[in-house]
Chains A and B, each alone.
Chain A
Amino acid sequence: MQTIQVKSTPLTQKHLALKAKMSAFAGYNMPISYAGIKEEHICVRTNVGVFDVSHMGEFIVKGMDALALVQRVTSNDASKLVAGGIQYACLPNGKGGIVDDLLVYRLADDMCAAGEQAFMLVVNASNIEKDWSWIMSHAADFEVTMQDISEKTGLLALQGPNATKVLEKLTSVKIGDLKYYTFAKGKVAGLDNVLISATGYTGAGGYELYARNSQMEKLWDALFEAGREFNIQPIGLGARDTLRLEKGYCLYGNDIDDTTSPIEAGLGWITKLKKGDFINADLFRNQVKNGVAKKLVGFELSDRRVPRHDHLIENEAGEVIGKVTSGTQSPTLNKPIGMGYVSTNYTAVGSHIWIQMGGGKRFAAKVVKLPFLN
């Protein structure tokens, strides 16, 4: 008999006390929803909510060649980062696919000896071990030390238009001055050395707060106390998925994986072909120059049926031209939306495609510009 070990986050007891609907996700027992996905989604879009995303993985890369290694394994140009800067990037897998997507944090130089650089890489929970082995397998020629701090690091996402008003009650860090995709370290709710990052995968604005496991309960309580006047709510992974999809953000394992290239996925903007050599650079240059056979597009349905991952996409004649990678009923737009890969002939905005939902039923859809929600 096989027993599967499901891990807890430092806040699992809080979620259970709130009667969250829990489910195993990436090996962790995670809250999927509390009040309901729609209500939580709208709360983040219009107000403010808190997500426990402590399952995410964090690696520290440090040393004389830290920048060189990050440049080698990630697609974006980390040489452009100054201390306090953050980049979205992916790890090409050597075959033109994607090992994972990640955030690259350029840490302050005071963490380093002279000539060294330090980065924090934030990766998907489901890929922690895969990413670690992959990066390590390329680290041999570089003078770096790597540390996996995932197990001792917690992460909360405070997201929504009122996030700044909540957080500024708890810290003297000038968070209003933090530009999107930058970070600062400081005291939050009396807790030392919290990393405040002006990021989040919701498109609603806000912050992500990295802290030690032992600080997480106190941080969680402090955010809810400070947010009470705004009616702050806990938000589960269900709404995280609908929020990111409305913004056209890719989810690893759905929209991108080891078989999709960043060029196909519309991630050309994080694939810096002029930065010098990196894994699969030539292959991607070739794809940009000669084109790719399929591309990730967004589409909307006029019917009420909802597209789901793995539904086939057809042309008018009924030929299969692609596959749905993500789909939901958009709580903001109140209609079904989805993303999927289609043959390049059908990627133009306005193209008519059909989603095959089984039982001989297919529904008309139209390719639209991403994001669904500006």
Chain B
Amino acid sequence: MNFPSNLKYTKEHEWLRIESNDIAYIGVTDFAQSELGDIVYVEVETVGETIEKDEIFGTIEAVKTTSDLFMPVSGEILEFNPLLDQSEGDNPALVNSDPYTEGWIVKIRMTDLAQLKDLMDATTYQNLVA
């Protein structure tokens, strides 16, 4: 299982990649997609909203189970990955096949950069799920 070292991780099995200054991408980890199994739908109806850390910003439906998506840090949802969006690419299986790059879920503008220090690095996260 793969946990890139340039990402930050949460205990809810999400990753965050800082793009520039206060802009970041969020997705779910390789471990999360593997546990969920075949992902059939990703619902994000929060674009434009500002959501607090640990609050729900979306939902993933897999064949077997449903899982909510939680904000790793507070921020404004700028974009939902059009490749996953049912009205555009409609390819939620990308979260299974490529969770860290093509399968990103949302792009956000972080509102409290101090919260980043609460996230885990790759080694710490890997130990958590090992």
Contacts and interface: CB of A to CB of B under 8 A. Distances in A.
Interface of A: 21, 32-33, 36-38, 238, 241-242, 304-306, 308, 328-329, 331, 336, 357, 359
Contacts of B61: 304-306, 329, 336
Given A238-B64, A306-B61, A331-B38, 7 more contacts: A32-B64, A37-B37, A304-B40, A304-B41, A305-B59, A306-B41, A306-B66
Nearest to A357: B66
A305 B42 CA distance: 9
A21 B38 CA distance: 13
Interface string B34-49: 0001101101000000
A328 B37 CA distance: 13
B124 interface: no
24 contacts: A33-B37, A36-B37, A36-B38, A37-B37, A37-B38, A37-B64, A238-B37, A242-B63, A304-B41, A304-B61, A305-B41, A306-B41, A306-B63, A306-B66, A308-B65, A328-B63, A329-B40, A329-B41, A329-B61, A329-B63, A331-B38, A331-B63, A357-B66, A359-B56
Contact of A37 (B43, B56, B63, B86): B63
B9 to A, nearest CB: 22
Contacts, number: 45
| Chain B contact residues: helix, strand, loop or mixed | strand
Interface centre among A21, A238, A306, A331 (most CB of B within 10 A): A306
Contacts of A242: 63
Nearest to B40: A329
A218 B104 CA distance: 45
Contacts of B66: 305-306, 308, 357
B35 to A, nearest CB: 8
A259 to B, nearest CB: 24
Contacts of B63: 37-38, 238, 242, 306, 328-329, 331
Given A304-B86, A328-B63, A38 B43 contact: no
Contacts of A308: 65-66
Given A308-B66, A328-B63, A38 B38 contact: yes
Contacts of A329: 40-41, 61-63
A251 B29 CA distance: 32
A329 B63 CA distance: 5
Contacts of A357: 66
Interface centre among B37, B40, B61, B63 (most CB of A within 10 A): B63
A336 B59 CA distance: 15
A336 B61 CA distance: 10
Nearest to B92: A304
Contacts of A304: 40-41, 43, 61, 86
Contacts of A328: 63-64
B13 to A, nearest CB: 16
B5 to A, nearest CB: 25
B31 to A, nearest CB: 12
Contacts of A305: 41, 43, 59, 61, 66
Contacts of B41: 304-306, 329
